[in-house]
């Protein structure tokens, strides 16, 4: 009965408890075959030790002192917060609720305060989102208030009420989905996997404006000179997002009911992503803006809050038609994006490399007033192939 | 869904205890986490970046009752390291396909590296890259001075298995090394 390689190896590393060590050493004294094997293993371990020793950091490659590294970690926390935010946008189970709140939040910031339905009558400036554009922001410049969705809502008021305007419904095909959702639903012809088609009800978000709080926060964000009419104080502000159609292909174990019930809490741990490609389509949100609002100025303020310098913000603001364009900030750190031609219009492609999972993409475009968001594993050609096959 | 201010404030006593634990873990493990990652990726800046990422995840990780902090930390670090290597390989492949062949070792401009050392390191990493990931991890950890108990915690196996797994890993390394040298 000879020694196993494991026992010999452990002995060589002095990792055997006393009784076992004694047993093994005794056997080695008596068994030449095992002694030979022990020599072989020992030789080999030394050789490999020498090989791996070349990987050891040399004096010029030593790590930074721990205190310095710790300080760097601090300044990266804000950077990382945004990476988490983007990652959560890709998390299958929370994406839809999160996207709804993100759109609400972004629109709220874009307009300095969200559309007012309950306030008086002379509202002009109705516009419908026709375009989406992305702007890279330096997450290090973002103030803490924008670090998480719950904090952001806190910034606006004590209580934000979000309610579903209807029930989740399932559909068997595009025709049925179109009837239920009230839009002309298109589905990709070239895609693999079982289809699961659901109609997510529209969402209404409402809260009461606490003007003193909004002004205080804007002041803190360096936007104190933004003019906000007094009459919006105490008003109930409501934003409605239309129903959306979600077509999920493949292994999509997401419980959309559970996700919506759990609420839009992107601070929950991200669940494992299934091999799932999803197409979301939604009538683009409509925003009612009060008159007398200089949208370009507001847009500039918004961009400055997102970290652009006043000059950059002014320049960028000129290039955007704020009455029809939704400007979405994305963190510069670790994200690739580009504008692409898709479905006959200009869209945006974002690639995210995630540990543990295949690369995920997000392709977003607006055509005929419908917002399309396609996400799943793959690269740009995967995304465009699917998008171009929409019928 | 209603957001209340209480939800946002955590109990401050709990928070400061967790922070103290994190701080001491950082001081204790920073050099070793860096060391493990440096052996994997071979680049000072990248190793520090990945090490900070590992610690950031530790910082964000919800506390669990049975905490194996050290094991978890090194497991995360190794995953990050291997993913970085895979991403690097993918990038190299894409660039190759695009006709822009870029030598990975040429991109590494650490002054402490001599050409000879660069070649040696490239050879060893090439072998590690071809091994089963767990076996490669085992070698890196062992030859970074981790005890069997520490390796077991990081890899997630019983410490009584380490001897056997290590011997096997060394066998695998030797075979692949010989094969690559023979080419």
Residue in chain A nearest B111 by alpha carbon: A60
Q: What is the pLDDT of residue B100?
A: 43
Kind and range of the H or E run holding A240: strand A236-241
CB nearest to B2's CB, from A63, A80, A160: A160
* Residue A275 · residue A356 · CB < 8 Å: no
CB contact residues (below 8 A), chain B span 12-41, against chain A = 23, 26-27, 30-31, 34-35, 38-39
3-state helix, strand, coil in chain A (%, to 5): 40, 25, 35
> Is A154 at the interface with chain B, CB within 8 A?
yes
Q: Average pLDDT, stretch A43-69?
A: 91
Phi, psi of A106 (to 5 degrees): -65, -45
Q: What is the pLDDT of residue A260?
A: 39
Up-side HSE of residue B88: CA atoms within 13 Å toward CB?
20
Is A73 close to B148, i.e. CB distance below 8 A? Answer: no
Q: Contacts of residue B4 in chain A, CB cutoff 8 Å?
A: 158-159
Q: What is the pLDDT of residues A3-31, one digit of tens each?
A: 999 999 999 999 999 999 999 999 999 99
Is B124 close to A51, i.e. CB distance below 8 A? Answer: yes
Tell me the range of A132-136, A325-329, B67-71, B124-128 where mean pLDDT is highest.
B124-128
Q: What is the pLDDT of residues A194-234, one digit of tens each?
A: 888 888 877 666 666 667 776 766 666 566 666 666 666 66
Up-side HSE of residue A164: CA atoms within 13 Å toward CB?
18
Higher-confidence residue of A309 and B27: namely B27
CB nearest to A54's CB, from B59, B117, B161: B117
What residues have CB less than 8 Å from B174, skipping those under 6 apart?
A: A44, A47, A48
> Is A57 at the interface with chain B, CB within 8 A?
yes
Q: Average pLDDT, stretch A303-327?
A: 69
Between the CA of residue B151 and those of A98, B92, B133, what are the distances in Å?
Answer: 39, 31, 14
Is B38 close to A154, i.e. CB distance below 8 A? Answer: no
Minimal CA separation from B45 to chain A, in Å = 9
Compute chain A's Rg from CA coordinates: 28
User: How many residues does this entry show for chain A?
Assistant: 391
Give the rounded distance of the alpha carbon of A250 from its chain centre: 21
Minimal CA separation from B55 to chain A, in Å = 8
Q: Average pLDDT, stretch A45-71?
A: 90
Note the helical H segments in chain A: 5-12, 18-30, 32-53, 66-90, 92-111, 149-156, 174-181, 211-220, 256-262, 295-305, 310-318, 380-388
Q: Three-state SS for B50? A: helix
Tell me the range of A238-252, A280-294, A337-351 where mean pLDDT is highest.
A337-351
Residue in chain A nearest B116 by alpha carbon: A54
pTM of the model: 0.47
ipTM: 0.80
Measured between alpha carbons, how far is A354 from A350 in angstroms, rounded to an integer?
13
> Is A69 at the interface with chain B, CB within 8 A?
yes
pLDDT exceeds cutoff 80 at B154: yes
pLDDT exceeds cutoff 80 at A122: no
Measured between alpha carbons, how far is B40 from A47 in angstroms, rounded to an integer?
19
Sheet strands side by side (includes A370-377): A169-171, A195-200, A244-250, A276-283, A370-377, A360-367, A345-352, A336-342
């Amino acid at each position: 009965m000879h020694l196993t390689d494991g026992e010999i190896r452990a002995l060589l590393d002095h990792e055997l408890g006393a009784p076992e060590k004694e047993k093994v050493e005794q056997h080695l004294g008596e068994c030449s075959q095992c002694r030979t094997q022990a020599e072989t293993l020992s030789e080999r371990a030394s050789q490999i030790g020498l090989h791996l020793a070349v990987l050891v950091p040399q004096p010029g490659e030593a790590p930074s002192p721990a205190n310095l590294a710790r300080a760097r970690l601090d300044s990266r926390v804000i950077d990382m917060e945004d990476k988490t935010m983007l990652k959560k946008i890709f998390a299958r189970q929370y994406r839809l609720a999160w996207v709804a709140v993100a759109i609400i939040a972004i629109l709220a910031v874009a307009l300095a305060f969200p559309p007012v339905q309950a306030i008086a009558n002379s509202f002009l400036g109705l516009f419908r989102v026709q375009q989406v554009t992305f702007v890279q922001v330096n997450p290090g410049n973002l103030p803490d208030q924008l670090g998480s969705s719950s904090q952001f809502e806190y910034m606006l008021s004590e209580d934000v009420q979000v309610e579903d305007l209807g029930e989740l419904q399932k559909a068997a095909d595009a025709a049925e989905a179109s009837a239920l959702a009230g839009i002309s639903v298109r589905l990709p012809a070239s895609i693999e996997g079982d289809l699961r088609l659901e109609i997510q009800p529209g969402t209404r978000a409402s809260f009461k404006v606490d003007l003193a709080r909004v002004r205080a926060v804007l002041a803190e964000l360096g936007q104190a000179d933004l003019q906000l009419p007094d009459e919006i104080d105490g008003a109930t502000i409501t934003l409605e997002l239309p129903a959306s159609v979600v077509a999920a292909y493949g292994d999509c174990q997401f419980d959309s009911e559970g996700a919506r019930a759990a609420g839009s809490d992107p601070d929950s741990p991200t669940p494992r992503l299934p091999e799932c490609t999803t197409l979301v389509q939604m009538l683009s949100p409509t925003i009612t803006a009060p008159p007398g609002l200089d949208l370009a100025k507001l847009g500039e303020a918004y961009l400055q809050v997102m970290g652009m310098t006043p000059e950059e913000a002014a320049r960028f603001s000129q290039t955007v038609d704020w009455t029809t364009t939704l400007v979405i900030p994305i963190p510069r750190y670790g994200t690739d994006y580009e504008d692409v031609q898709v479905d006959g219009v200009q869209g945006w492609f974002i690639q995210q490399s995630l540990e543990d999972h295949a690369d995920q993409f997000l392709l977003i475009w607006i055509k005929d007033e419908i917002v399309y968001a396609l996400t799943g594993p793959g690269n740009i050609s995967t995304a465009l192939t699917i998008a171009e096959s929409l019928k | 869904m209603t957001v209340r201010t209480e939800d946002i404030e955590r109990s401050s006593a709990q928070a400061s205890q967790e922070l103290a634990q994190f701080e001491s873990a950082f001081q204790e493990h920073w050099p070793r986490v860096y060391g493990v990652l440096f052996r994997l990726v071979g680049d000072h800046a990248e190793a520090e970046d990945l090490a900070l990422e590992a610690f950031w995840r530790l910082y964000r990780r919800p506390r669990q009752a049975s905490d194996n902090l050290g094991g978890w930390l090194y497991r995360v670090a190794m995953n990050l390291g291997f993913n970085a290597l895979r991403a690097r390989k993918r990038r190299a492949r894409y660039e190759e396909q695009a006709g822009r062949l870029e030598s990975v070792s040429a991109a590494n401009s650490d002054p402490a590296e001599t050409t000879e050392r660069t070649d040696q390191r490239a050879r060893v990493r090439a072998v590690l890259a071809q091994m089963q990931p767990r076996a490669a991890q085992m070698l890196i950890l062992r030859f970074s001075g981790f005890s069997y108990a520490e390796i077991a915690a990081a890899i997630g196996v019983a410490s009584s298995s380490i001897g056997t797994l290590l011997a096997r890993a060394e066998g695998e390394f030797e075979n692949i090394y010989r094969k690559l040298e023979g080419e």
